[in-house]
Amino acid sequence: MRREREVPEEAKAFIIEELVRNAEMIWRRIEELHIDKDLYARSTDCQDLLTMPMLRICELVSEYRSVFEEIDPSYPWADVAKMRSKIAHPYGGFDFDFVWDAIEVDLPGLAAICKRAIE
């Protein structure tokens, strides 16, 4: 089991902002490159462009879960942290629907929580 890092108070906002920056990167790429679910499933370039920032988001939550739990203890942060392994180690094949659905369904709420915390 991974041991969480202790975070100095002054670093917490940066960590939360980093999650927001990665979410915005995903949305910007979807908009600028006109990526939809079908293109994402067919194009390894699009998969890389969206999946890597999603992995960074999951890694941030995994490494600094207590920071995120402070801003909203009711959000399922543990599920976000676990998502990293499912994306990074796709035993049985990469689940395009899983990642796309996380981007479309889960990411907006997750980013909104983080944006409110740093405003």
Condensed to tens digits (0 to 9), the pLDDT of residues 7-20 reads 888 899 999 999 99
Q: Answer whether 21's CB lies under 8 Å from 107's CB.
A: no
Q: Could you give the 3-state DSSP secondary structure of residue 30?
A: helix
pLDDT of residue 3: 61
Our CA angle for 93, 55, 51, nearest 5°, is 60
Share of the chain above pLDDT 90, in %: 74
Q: How many Cα atoms occupy the beta-carbon half-sphere of 28 within 13 Å?
A: 7
Provide the 10 A C-beta neighbour count for residue 93. Answer: 6
For residue 59, give the nearest of 111, 100, 96, 22 by alpha carbon: 22
The pLDDT of residue 1 is above 70? no
User: Which residue ranges make up each domain of the chain?
Assistant: 9-118
Query: What token pair was written down for 57?
Result: 């988001």
pLDDT of residue 98: 87
The mean per-residue pLDDT over the stretch 93-101 comes to 83
The pLDDT of residue 117 is above 80? yes
pLDDT of residue 86: 79
DSSP string, 47-113: HHHHHHHHHHHHHHHHHTHHHHHHH-TTS-HHHHHHHHHHHHS-TTS--HHHHHHIIIIIHHHHHHH
pLDDT of residue 96: 81
- pTM for the model: 0.89
pLDDT of residue 119: 85
